[in-house]
């Protein structure tokens, strides 16, 4: 019989990959407060009683808690809403998983570090800068300190699901190109590690299959910067002769992106590598697959 997974907050870019990677081998129930797919049903996981009842009725073997507010400016402007969604709802999930005695998956972020180091492994201590980072880190800590069995997987610069759901860096650049822009202004003072949603979901599947519970950095291979990612993207689109990339400092965008961001969010997948379960490919390979699979005939 298939194992059952309840996936909460499954309507976004990561949820799309989890649905695709888990639907064949597992019996899954996917919920979100934004029902934007036929395979989603409604649940606002901030409503503890509704969340508990829905999970208990499905009686899963695993609880995956994916959803969160990820817009840093929104989080700074709506701190209470951010803590309710990114921290308290995670606590709800832990209570539910513990009551059912099942493992919980929580998605954390490279953004919980202050960026003073160049690279962060799984054992470095976070020092969150803003409301988003604090709320996510407090969610991470609660899971690690209170869940009976857990997986905490830290993602980097997320990419996945294409124009429909990607609200991050790649889609923002793609939209500019679609709108006819011939020059992209890219920050040259932000380093990090891209994270392809499908590789991430495959790595999670490997971890739960082997029951390797715990905390893992879960990002693509290769260290990079915003500038380098943009250059690689333009090259993959074969538009390096028609698109100009202009390097600017973060101050250039400070009116739009005013929330504090760490200068380096580069993670190393030390634990995945040591355990031999790393399904995260080099970011360039993942970016090419992402563009090939989701951006055909987009521009």
pLDDT at 45: 98
Answer yes or no: is pLDDT of 16 > 90. Answer: yes
What CA–CA distance (Å, rounded) separates 195 from 166?
12
Q: What is the pLDDT of residues 278-291, one digit of tens each?
A: 999 999 999 999 99
- For residue 111 the two structure tokens come to 């953004």
Question: The tokens 């600017």 sit on which residue?
Answer: 248
Query: Quick one: fold of 4-162+195-223+265-282?
Result: Rossmann fold (3.40.50)
Q: What is the pLDDT of residues 135-154, one digit of tens each?
A: 999 999 999 999 999 999 99
Provide the residue ranges of all domains of the chain, joining segments of one domain with +.
Answer: 4-162+195-223+265-282
Give the sheet arrangement for strand 27-32, strand by strand.
40-42, 27-32, 4-8, 62-65, 104-109, 150-155, 214-217
What CA–CA distance (Å, rounded) separates 16 from 201?
10
Q: What is the pLDDT of residues 203-252, one digit of tens each?
A: 999 999 999 999 999 999 998 999 999 999 999 999 999 999 999 999 99
Say if residues 5 and 149 touch (Cβ distance below 8 Å): no
Which residues on adjacent β-strands are paired with residue 214? 151
Q: Please indicate, yes or no, whether the overall pTM of this predicted structure exceeds 0.75.
A: yes
- For residue 142 the two structure tokens come to 């609660």
pLDDT at 147: 98
| pLDDT class of 158 with cuts at 50, 70, 90 | very high
Q: Give 61-117 as a DSSP string.
A: SEEEE------HHHHHH-HHHHHIIIIIHHHHHHHHHHHHT--EEEEEEGGGS-S-S
Q: What is the pLDDT of residues 50-90, one digit of tens each?
A: 999 999 999 999 999 999 999 999 999 999 999 999 999 99
Q: What is the pLDDT of residues 98-126, one digit of tens each?
A: 999 999 999 999 999 999 999 999 999 99
Q: What is the pLDDT of residues 160-192, one digit of tens each?
A: 999 999 999 999 999 999 999 999 999 999 999
Quickly list H helices, 116-225.
Answer: 131-146, 162-165, 169-178, 197-210
pLDDT at 223: 86
Say if residues 293 and 234 touch (Cβ distance below 8 Å): no
CA 162 from centre of chain? 14
């Amino acid at each position: 019989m298939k194992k059952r997974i309840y996936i909460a907050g499954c309507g976004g870019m990561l949820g799309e990959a989890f649905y695709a990677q888990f639907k064949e081998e597992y019996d899954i129930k996917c919920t979100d407060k934004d029902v934007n797919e036929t395979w989603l049903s409604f649940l606002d996981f901030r409503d503890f009683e509704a969340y508990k009842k829905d999970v208990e009725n499905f009686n899963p073997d695993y609880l995956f808690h994916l959803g969160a507010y990820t817009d840093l400016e929104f989080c700074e402007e709506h701190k209470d809403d951010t803590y309710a969604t990114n921290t308290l709802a995670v606590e709800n999930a832990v209570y539910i998983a513990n009551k059912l005695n099942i493992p919980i998956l929580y998605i954390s972020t490279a953004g919980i570090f202050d960026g003073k180091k160049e690279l962060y492994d799984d054992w470095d201590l976070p020092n969150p800068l803003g409301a988003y980072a604090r709320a996510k880190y407090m969610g991470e800590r609660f899971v690690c300190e209170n869940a009976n069995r857990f997986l905490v997987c830290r993602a980097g610069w997320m990419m996945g699901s294409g124009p429909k759901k990607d609200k991050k860096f790649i889609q923002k650049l793609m939209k500019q190109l679609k709108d006819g822009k011939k020059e992209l202004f890219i920050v040259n003072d932000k380093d990090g590690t891209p994270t392809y949603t499908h590789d991430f979901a495959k790595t999670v599947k490997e971890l739960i299959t082997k029951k390797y519970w715990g905390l893992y950095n879960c990002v693509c291979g290769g260290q990079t910067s915003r500038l380098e990612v943009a250059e690689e993207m333009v090259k993959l689109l074969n538009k390096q002769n028609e698109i100009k990339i202009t390097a600017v400092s973060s101050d250039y965008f400070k009116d739009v992106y005013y929330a504090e961001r760490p200068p380096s969010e580069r993670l190393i997948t030390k634990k995945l590598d040591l355990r031999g379960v790393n399904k995260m490919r080099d970011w360039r390979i993942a970016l090419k697959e992402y563009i090939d699979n989701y951006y055909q005939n987009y521009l």
